[in-house]
Structure 1
Amino acid sequence: MAGILRSRGWLGRLGRSEAAPGLVLIACAAAALALANSPLAQAWHDLFHHPLPWTPLPRLDTLHLWINDGLMAVFFFVVGLEIKREIIVGELADPQRRRLPVVAALAGMSVPALVYLAASRGDAALHAGWAIPAATDIAFAMGVLALIGKRVPPSVRLFLLTVAIVDDLGAVAVIAIFYTAGIVWAWLGIAAALFGAMVILNRSGIRASWPYIVLAIALWAAVLHSGVHATVAGVLAALTVPMALDRHGDSPLLRMEHALVAPNGFLIVPLFGLANAGVTLGGGSSLADPLPLAIAAGLFIGKQVGVFSAVVACERLGFAPRPAGTHLSHLWGMALLCGIGFTMSLFIAGLAFPTRPALGEEAKIGILAGSLLSAIAGALVLRFSPKPAD
């Protein structure tokens, strides 16, 4: 009995840990990789890609599409809530404090894209994947950081979180602008009207959650049929949810964020990993091929160079100081962790090569390799960095 109680206590602490969602995601990615290279590979593939016997939306006729276009809209909704909260009351609220993470995030998106284009050897067929290494996986990166513990100054954790949030905002913009197919203007008009209705609700002081939830679902359906990727609706809907606190210190935004953080971290993102991380190894593609190599180089080299050089340049030029109490090795380790692309990179890879599944599989090799290298290197650099003073 004592052993059971100790086990429950350990599981309880893990569930409340920042590392937990990242660990669950890692486990699901490993499971997907193992199943994709096992005798169950075909059954595993069919589970996600075989047409469903019935679906309420003909556009979503497989489990894979429901996860990527449906559940991931909830993921982006949570991202939108986090972005809005940070802009209103967080690190992005102060113009002075947001300078450094915004510059670092922009450099951390542009340099990996340039490295990718350089490493893809001028192959025009691969150019659509330029944004794959530009993303950072918050859960994965924060999970690795949490496992290192007290050897990392709190300011590094906060800075990484802020950079990743700005990075996510940039990724959403990239998806909306560069990975949109043909526009169906009637549906886009309906989506615009629904978004306007949500803004009016906010301006009218409506604080109940259910009207926003109902309209958010309708907005998602309209965007799904408009040609713009449906997950963009998640961020747009989140930006209309009121943040203003009532006399009890509560708000619809905080209520929704609190309610969705656990399902997002322990169900939606792991399911996405299970459905998308599986890649057949030894199937003719290798890390030395142009696409996997370009992605891995973008994540591992481009991210650390972009983020670290931006932080150092901002400090040297007097534009913004580095995070308090940090050594250059802390900043280097943090920049390496930004190269963990995983969830968002897998998502963008699916958008970049929708009609060429072979390239999608090659992209997964580069994403897994680049993210794993970044995680290991970042953890080692931070582990052996100077310990913060108490």
Structure 2
Amino acid sequence: MIQRLITLEKFINKEALSGILLFVATVAAVIVANSSLGQAYYDLWHLPLGLNIGETEVSMSLTYWIDDGLMALFFLMVGLEIKREMLIGELSSVSKASFPIVAAVGGMAIPALIYVALNPDNPLGFGVPMATDIAFALGILMLLGNKVNPALKLFLVALAVVDDLGAVLVVATVYTSEIQSQYFIHAGIIYALIWILNKRGVTNLLPYLLLGIALWVYIHAIGIHATIAGVLLAFAIPIGSKIDEKKFIKDTKGAIDDFERNIDDVPILNHHQIDSLETIGYGYDKVQNPLVRLEHNLHGLSAFFIMPLFAFSNAGVLIDFSTVHANLAIVLGVVLGLVLGKPIGILGFTYLAHKLKIVKKPDTISWSEILAVGFIAGIGFTMSIFITHLAFLDEDVISAVKLGVFAASFVAAIIGVFLLLTVKKFNK
């Protein structure tokens, strides 16, 4: 239990720092896009980048490689987080999972309904206000420090994980191009091979990742957004280690004893000591959980490279409010969905479910704090921008929606912080 809390604390701290980095990358992108370097900025991300394999050429724009390639690694990490939370974390039992699940469902359903109500003839953008940016949201909670109830951080993590799962399902089922059904068999065979590795107890990550690349290729060929390959791969990564902790402790103690017995006066290690270290290293590799190891390795890459790069390449938008006026219903749907839909959905669904005795509100969290978290969850940002590029093709619409996402995320954050500080002051 203590180790789980330490792992969660490290996760939250990384997300918080990542949120700050995302903010810096976003501000930099907007500044550059509206400066004299604006045209060079846009030309850079549309630069074709590819390679030739024999007579086969694979070429895509740099933005496409980031959005479909690097973001597949991000979604792989998201999938690993979802699986971990469902197996051993805040979603591992009905009693722990029911409340954040209801909150997340409300926080996705109401924003989507608000958007569709305002855009009945153009409903495809309903996924934009559904998303929560966990890095920014946790970053704000961490910056507030001890002014925030620690239980809220756990609640927000669980809520955001379910929210991510919802976003994955929407991307997989709604935002797809024309389906090329002939590639389903290829993807199915590769995915079956991945699960065979899992069932055979293979804990070496390399074959999973190599097959994952092939899965990405065929998922892309089918017409489903290729980032879903990352989530499918994550669900197949085993969580069990090759050896248990007791065997690791026993073998390691024996190796350390051998290392100590063979100490000599020579200033370099002898072969007995080297063998002892190799035994320890072998045990270290075998006792690690493959899922946790891969998640740990991907988290730094995602938090400090992939997401900031995604933000810098996609957040650059010309500040032109004429596009907002021309697409006012769409922008209002996004803004109201994030700023009002999220808190109404999260508070409303949980309150109603609690009164109907479907779920029980944690005693450590007040309804005022849940409302505040509802506003914090209205920070859509990078996930909302990601879905924006899937939902719309017109560049003017995309630019207008991005401005709406920025404005909504800022307003939601300000209201959420104000409520959190007010609740803390009131509870003193």
TM-score w.r.t. the length of structure 1 is 0.91
Match of 2:48 in 1: 51
Match of 1:302 in 2: 341
Identity %: 39
Structure 1 residue 283 displacement after superposition: 5.6
Q: Are 2:250 and 1:254 aligned?
A: no
Match of 1:320 in 2: 359
Match of 1:97 in 2: 96
Match of 2:148 in 1: 152
Q: Are 2:60 and 1:64 aligned?
A: no
Q: Secondary structure at the match of 1:136?
A: coil
The superposition leaves residues 304-353 of structure 1 with CA deviations (integer Å, 9 ceiling, x where unpaired) of 10011112122222222223322222111111111111111111111111
Q: Secondary structure at the match of 2:76?
A: helix
For 2:81 and 2:418, how far apart are their aligned partners in 1?
29
Residues 59, 138 of structure 1: alpha-carbon distance in 2 compared, 3 angstrom cutoff: farther
Amino acid at match of 1:79: V
Q: Secondary structure at the match of 1:61?
A: strand
- Greater mean alpha carbon deviation, residues 139-148 or residues 309-318: 309-318
For 1:230 and 1:58, how far apart are their aligned partners in 2?
18
Q: Secondary structure at the match of 2:91?
A: coil
The superposition leaves residues 275-320 of structure 1 with CA deviations (integer Å, 9 ceiling, x where unpaired) of 1111111262237822212111111111110011112122222222
State whether residues 132 and 349 of structure 1, in contact with CA within 8 Å, keep that contact through their aligned partners in structure 2: yes
- Structural mapping, 1:254-293, within 5 Å: 254-282=292-320, 284-286=322-324, 289-293=328-332
Q: Which ranges of structure 1 fall in alignment gaps of 5 or more residues?
A: 1-12
For 1:108 and 1:167, how far apart are their aligned partners in 2?
8
State whether residues 54 and 61 of structure 1, in contact with CA within 8 Å, keep that contact through their aligned partners in structure 2: no
Amino acid at match of 2:25: C
State whether residues 323 and 396 of structure 2, in contact with CA within 8 Å, keep that contact through their aligned partners in structure 1: no
Structure 1 residue 184 displacement after superposition: 1.4
Instruction: Give the length in aligned residue pairs.
Output: 373
Match of 2:114 in 1: 115
Q: Are 2:373 and 1:329 aligned?
A: no
Q: Are 2:396 and 1:358 aligned?
A: yes
Match of 1:376 in 2: 414
RMSD in angstroms over aligned alpha carbons? 2.1
State whether residues 104 and 159 of structure 2, in contact with CA within 8 Å, keep that contact through their aligned partners in structure 1: yes
- Greater mean alpha carbon deviation, residues 267-276 or residues 376-385: 376-385
- Greater mean alpha carbon deviation, residues 259-268 or residues 238-247: 238-247
Of 219, 222, 239, which aligns to 1:223? 219
- Greater mean alpha carbon deviation, residues 82-91 or residues 274-283: 274-283
Structure 1 residue 383 displacement after superposition: 1.8
Match of 1:346 in 2: 385
For 2:179 and 2:50, how far apart are their aligned partners in 1?
29
State whether residues 60 and 66 of structure 1, in contact with CA within 8 Å, keep that contact through their aligned partners in structure 2: no
State whether residues 51 and 59 of structure 2, in contact with CA within 8 Å, keep that contact through their aligned partners in structure 1: no
Match of 1:85 in 2: 84
Q: Which protein is bigger by CA-based radius of gyration?
A: 2
Q: Are 2:61 and 1:73 aligned?
A: no
Structure 1 residue 130 displacement after superposition: 1.1
Match of 1:8 in 2: none
Structure 1 residue 24 displacement after superposition: 0.2
- Greater mean alpha carbon deviation, residues 196-205 or residues 56-65: 56-65
Q: Are 2:190 and 1:194 aligned?
A: yes
Structure 1 residue 387 displacement after superposition: 6.2
Amino acid at match of 1:334: V
State whether residues 375 and 412 of structure 2, in contact with CA within 8 Å, keep that contact through their aligned partners in structure 1: yes
Amino acid at match of 1:143: G
Q: Are 2:274 and 1:235 aligned?
A: no
For 1:273 and 1:324, how far apart are their aligned partners in 2?
37
Q: Are 2:170 and 1:210 aligned?
A: no
TM-score w.r.t. the length of structure 2 is 0.83
State whether residues 300 and 336 of structure 1, in contact with CA within 8 Å, keep that contact through their aligned partners in structure 2: yes
For 1:218 and 1:53, how far apart are their aligned partners in 2?
17
Amino acid at match of 1:304: P
Match of 1:27 in 2: 24
Q: Which ranges of structure 2 fall in alignment gaps of 5 or more residues?
A: 1-9, 246-286
State whether residues 151 and 385 of structure 1, in contact with CA within 8 Å, keep that contact through their aligned partners in structure 2: no
State whether residues 341 and 367 of structure 1, in contact with CA within 8 Å, keep that contact through their aligned partners in structure 2: yes
Structure 1 residue 95 displacement after superposition: 1.2
Amino acid at match of 1:80: G
- Greater mean alpha carbon deviation, residues 323-332 or residues 158-167: 323-332
Structure 1 residue 52 displacement after superposition: 3.1
The superposition leaves residues 239-297 of structure 1 with CA deviations (integer Å, 9 ceiling, x where unpaired) of 00001134245211011011111110010011110111111112622378222121111
For 2:338 and 2:317, how far apart are their aligned partners in 1?
18
Residues 383, 55 of structure 1: alpha-carbon distance in 2 compared, 3 angstrom cutoff: farther
Structure 1 residue 49 displacement after superposition: 1.1
For 1:160 and 1:190, how far apart are their aligned partners in 2?
38
For 2:360 and 2:338, how far apart are their aligned partners in 1?
25
Q: Are 2:167 and 1:171 aligned?
A: yes
State whether residues 327 and 386 of structure 1, in contact with CA within 8 Å, keep that contact through their aligned partners in structure 2: no
The superposition leaves residues 190-212 of structure 1 with CA deviations (integer Å, 9 ceiling, x where unpaired) of 11111111111101111111111
For 1:45 and 1:218, how far apart are their aligned partners in 2?
31
